[in-house]
Chain A
Amino acid sequence: MMSKGTINILQLYPREMNIYGDWGNVLVLKQRLVWHGYDANILEHNADGEFPADVDLIVGGGGQDSGQIVIQQDLQLIAPHLRALAKDGMPMLIICGLYQLFGNYFKTHDGTVIPGIGVLDLETHGGTERLIGNVVASSDEFGDVHGYENHSGQTFLGPGLRPLAVVSKGEGNNSKENHEGARHLNIVASYLHGSLLPKNPAIADFLLEKAVTRKYGSFEPGDVDDSLAELARQHAGSRPR
């Protein structure tokens, strides 16, 4: 079958910001593109590297505190470009550590302020308690969202920013409100690992539709069987926190 087109997926800092299965998100986007009849290229941006010119979809993951220090300077260098791409409708999936850094700032527990890149109007405060466990949250756009959180940052959204979903099991962005993640333009941001996309194909297809439409004007989905994902969601939802 003729390919309907090629989408370039860019993974941000795969070495430092890929602590727990974030690769799964990239793999799911790549495979679903193929199942929908498109080709996929996977590109990387690493600290001190050249930011690739031809990018259709951006994926960023979580890292350890030490990884975040390594990428900090480079992230500030590419920040204006990322802000421009976001405004231009570039679909992005931003998880955990980079979710925090895509905000305005991260204030650590001892009071140090690490500047973010201001793509998302949110702020994060380092906490003493680590929020760990299974999460179920509900979204008007994507239905129930299933994942696993593991973070000590407490994230608060600015007044103009919508949460990705409302938590029914787990903590989400912080231990005060029931918000999980953020939605802005074509960006989906979240604390959830799992990996997030395998068990949430609706979010994967949203990102793909935006990427393909932005490049080719319209998205023609293929026939993808998500019955295994549906069963995995059911079992995940029934597990303890």
Chain B
Amino acid sequence: MLSVLVGKAVRAASRLRGGGSALPGLVVERIDPGFMGRALTGLQHGVVVVSGTNGKTTTTKMVVELLQGQGLTVFTNRTGSNFTRGVAAALLGDVDWRGRLKADIAVLELDEAHAVHFVQLVPPTHCLLLNVLRDQLDRFGEIDKTTRLLAQIAAKTTGTVVLNREDPRVASIASTVTDAAVTYFGLDESLRSTFPSDDDLRGSASVAPPSSLPADVVLESVDGNSASFLIDGTASRVELRLRGVYNIFNAAAALTMARTVLGVDARPAALLESLAAVEPAFGRGESLVVDGNPLELVLVKNPSGFRLGLKSFDPEGCATMIAINDNYADGRDMSWLWDVDFDSLAAAGVDMVSGVRAYDMALRLKYEDVRTAAVNTDTTAALASFIRAAQGRPKRIFCTYTAMLGIRRDLSRITDVKVVS
């Protein structure tokens, strides 16, 4: 109990200083390793872990809002602080002084490696495994290693494991699950070429043969922001506020998880209504207003994400900036930029290239014959001159994680940027 008070005090102090969302979590983990397990055990609907290489933050947000729409009180780690200590920090804000959590269910986004650590402490009742795409190879070495990490999450899951049947690495995890039930989400045949698996990124453009696995929710078709889902054999069309085809596929994942948690209590019409209302997570297709025109932030961190981002947003009539950093959280290796096709930007060109590795990006565009108007490694200066030069036009910024944090900070000085805490 003392640890809860100490943790809460550190949390209050670090918030006064205006930063360090994970520090109090680190402190409480150190002085009371059992804190998280005690707080999360005994929730009526259990603990959901969401992991995978792409789309964790937005998918977690969707699952949370779908369950809230069904009247559940949901605990989650909203800040995108997806290490174990981030969960502990978020818990400190929500537990009472005895360390009890007033929630029906916890829905937690966890980084692939930290999830393995977390499930040792708190075996989840459900897990949702999204995909294994080449990302952070500088941390994990190989994507097959990432698959093994996700399999360890599934192995510790006591109730149901929800898997992406279209990703061969994720689908293969089913054969390793012994104790839990397995449910899938999937894509209609017509959409499968839009979401290449990692093996289809380069080389012969063959897509793996269609899956014969049954899926609880199938994304049938996408037209702009309008999507059709096949749920339990019934097709429903939804107009979404989320942008990006990858987010719309992950909506099928979130629907499957919500239906799995709620079972026969799930009310389909209310689920779809909640889904339609979900706003993008910060920096993930988030739309701001600058000089009376929309400015979109699109987080890109690996080749598949960047490809789908380029596919989702039409460059026509829009000013484009790309900001590439190589800090630890972004990944230090620039090789991934060469696995992205940039030809869709060839007609409109790119107005500004920035970030620590701006010249790597500019060089990449040069080899794709994409015209670049300006390069500036100083992101603050680059953003100001981009906004000035693109006055009167809608704007879009593709940025890596740490570049996105800096750009949001700069933008908050000139426009309304939602604070995420």
Contacts and interface: CB of A to CB of B under 8 A. Distances in A.
Given A132-B141, A133-B138, A193-B335, A14 B202 contact: yes
Contacts of A134: 332
Interface string B314-344: 0000000000001000001111111100000
Given A44-B203, A133-B138, A23 B339 contact: yes
A19 B302 CA distance: 13
B129 interface: no
23 contacts: A11-B203, A14-B202, A15-B203, A18-B201, A19-B143, A21-B335, A24-B337, A24-B338, A24-B367, A28-B367, A44-B204, A133-B332, A148-B138, A148-B332, A148-B335, A152-B141, A193-B335, A194-B335, A228-B366, A231-B359, A232-B359, A235-B359, A235-B377
B141 A20 contact: no
Contacts of B204: 14-15, 44, 46
Interface string B128-143: 0000001001100111
Interface string A14-43: 110011111110011001000000000000
A18 B339 CA distance: 9
B144 interface: yes
B382 interface: no
A22 B336 CA distance: 9
Contact of B363 (A19, A44, A46, A232): A232
Q: Which residue of B138, B357, B367, B368 has the most chain A CB atoms within 10 A of its CB atom?
A: B367
B144 A66 contact: yes
B117 interface: no
B410 interface: no
Nearest to A18: B202
Given A21-B335, A46-B204, A232 B134 contact: no
Contact of B360 (A22, A31, A132, A232): A232
Interface of B: 134, 137-138, 141-144, 199, 201-204, 326, 332-339, 356-360, 362-364, 366-368, 375, 377
B144 to A, nearest CB: 5
Contact of B356 (A65, A66, A150, A239): A239
B328 to A, nearest CB: 9
Contacts of A14: 202-204
B172 to A, nearest CB: 11
Nearest to A193: B335
Given A21-B335, A23-B202, A64 B364 contact: no
B133 to A, nearest CB: 12
A239 B355 CA distance: 13
Nearest to B365: A228
Nearest to B369: A31
Q: Which residue of B203, B336, B337 has the most chain A CB atoms within 10 A of its CB atom?
A: B203
A20 B333 contact: yes
Contacts of A22: 338
A37 to B, nearest CB: 16
Interface string A122-134: 0000000010111
Nearest to A232: B359
A235 B333 contact: no
Nearest to B336: A21
B175 to A, nearest CB: 16
A145 to B, nearest CB: 15
Nearest to B339: A21
A29 to B, nearest CB: 10
